[in-house]
């Protein structure tokens, strides 16, 4: 991509000093926004906390649509970082929620990238890494949380009402600096589900 300076009737070829910024500008501005492109979104499809002999466990399902900008970024070799956040809280509404007690919480971190040599997607979940053939397979793995232990039996009271909340989001703070700047005001680079909240009574 070249910019031409026609000042004084002379055409000069101006080469950009930073190829990464040039590619970023192309990525953000040149991708068409027609109806064929899916809007980037993350939704919590379901979430449930269950009481077991070991304590409280979490199952959750997300629907993840990266959209064209993030899919193009992956295909160019950029790693995307996501984090699932969960809290289980005993709300003390009679104290204006100033002294709520957290029963259990966790953050699950994901790293998703594409190997241009092997043509495979690599998903790292915590310390575990898995290679898959398609992006749909990688997103299917990332969209499920199963039997995650969140609290031991000593941490909660049976029959007591607790508030659970969960969300999944892209973590732009892990991106290279030029992408962090471009994420300001961009729906694609600030991709996140809403907080999904429900009452748990084990």
Q: What is the reported pLDDT for 185?
A: 55
Helix (H, G, I), strand (E, B) or coil at 17: coil
Distance in angstroms between the alpha carbons of the first and the last residue of the chain:
60
Q: Which of 30-34, 35-39, 154-158, 174-178 is predicted least confidently?
A: 30-34
What's the confidence (pLDDT) of residue 17? 52
Alpha helices (H) along 100-173: 135-142
Exposed, middle or buried, 177 (CB in 10 Å: 0-12/13-18/19+)? exposed
- At 102-161, the pLDDT tens digits run 999 999 999 999 999 999 999 999 889 999 999 999 999 999 999 999 999 999 999 999
Give the residue from 16, 34, 33 showing the smallest Cα distance to 25: 16
Of 10 and 180, more confident: 180
Q: Is the pLDDT of residue 48 over 70?
A: yes
SS (H, E, C) 40-51: CEEEEEEEEEEE
pLDDT value of residue 178: 66
pLDDT for res 6: 45
Residue 102, pLDDT score:
93
Q: Is the pLDDT of residue 10 over 90?
A: no
Question: Using one digit for the tens of pLDDT, what is the confidence trace for 51-105?
Answer: 999 999 999 999 999 999 899 989 999 999 999 999 999 987 655 566 788 999 9
* 27 has a pLDDT exceeding 60: no
Domain ranges of the chain: 43-197
* Mean pLDDT calculated for residue range 28-46: 66
Instruction: Mean pLDDT check: name the lowest of 32-41, 86-95, 153-162, 165-174.
Output: 32-41
* Cα gap 137→58, rounded to integer Å: 22
Q: What is the pLDDT of residue 25?
A: 47
Q: Are strands 41-52 and 12-14 parallel, antiparallel or unpaired?
A: unpaired
* pLDDT for 181: 53
Cα-based torsion angle of the residue sequence 172, 173, 177, 179 in order, rounded to the nearest 10 degrees: 0
Taking each continuous run of H as one helix and of E as one strand, the counts in the chain are 4, 11
pLDDT of residue 190: 86
């Amino acid at each position: 991509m070249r910019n031409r300076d026609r000042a004084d009737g002379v055409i000069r070829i101006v080469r950009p000093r930073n190829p990464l910024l040039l590619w970023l500008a192309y990525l953000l501005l040149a991708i068409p926004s027609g109806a064929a492109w899916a809007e980037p979104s993350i939704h919590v499809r379901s979430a449930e906390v269950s009481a077991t002999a070991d304590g409280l466990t979490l199952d959750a399902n997300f629907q993840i649509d990266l959209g064209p900008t993030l899919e193009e970024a992956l295909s160019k070799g950029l790693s995307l970082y996501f984090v699932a956040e969960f809290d289980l809280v005993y709300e003390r509404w009679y104290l204006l929620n100033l002294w709520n007690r957290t029963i259990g919480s966790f953050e699950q971190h994901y790293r998703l990238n594409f190997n241009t040599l092997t043509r495979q997607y690599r998903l790292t979940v915590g310390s575990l890494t898995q290679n898959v053939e398609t992006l749909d397979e990688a997103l299917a793995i990332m969209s499920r949380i199963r039997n995650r232990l969140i609290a031991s039996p000593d941490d909660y009271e049976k029959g007591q009402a607790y508030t659970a909340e969960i969300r999944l989001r892209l973590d732009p703070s892990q991106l290279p600096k030029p992408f962090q700047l471009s994420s300001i005001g961009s729906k694609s680079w600030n991709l996140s589900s809403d907080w999904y909240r429900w009452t748990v009574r084990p």
